[in-house]
Structure 1
Amino acid sequence: MKCNIGKTDKIIRVILGACIIAVGVYYQSWWGAVGVIPLLTAAIGWCPAYVPFGISSCQTKK
């Protein structure tokens, strides 16, 4: 697994994941568990949805 998530993308995913979890807890819904997905992808630095499209937000070294 090659890193395909950059720093800004990771920050956005962490914030989004935390918000989804918070809304799920607030409304007492198990849908808040979906927030774990962006947190997990940010933690490992790899998004499987980016692979088929060849997307990468990592900076390339010159």
Structure 2
Amino acid sequence: MKQNIGNIDRGLRILAGLALIGATLGGAIGPWGWLGLVPLATGIFRFCPAYLPLGLSTCRLSNKRRQ
């Protein structure tokens, strides 16, 4: 698995995931907040499968290797 998520993208994903899970646990948005596990997991593992078919990468390291 190649990393395709950079630092800023990673931080935003982790924050969004934690916010959604926290809102669910607090009873604010119901069970839909458990979808926050997806951005949380992609941020932790630094890999987003949705980026593959689009050829996207926000990771500086892989962008330098492509040039």
TM range (shorter): 0.7 to 0.9
Instruction: Work out the CA distance in 1 between the residues paired with 2:52 and 2:27.
Output: 34
> What does 1:1-62 align with in structure 2 at a 5 Å threshold?
1-27=1-27, 29-59=30-60, 60-61=63-64
Large movers: runs of 4+ above 4 Å: none
Matched positions, count: 62
State the TM-score, normalized to the length of structure 2: 0.81
User: Between Structure 1 and Structure 2, which shows a larger proportion of helix residues?
Assistant: 2
Deviations 1:23-44, CA, capped at 9 Å, x for gaps: 1122262222111111100111
Identity rate of aligned residues, in percent? 39
Deviation at 1:8, TM superposition (A): 0.6
SS at match of 1:23: helix
What's the RMSD between the two structures over aligned residues? 1.6
Instruction: Work out the CA distance in 2 between the residues paired with 1:51 and 1:61.
Output: 17
* Paired residue type of 1:18: L
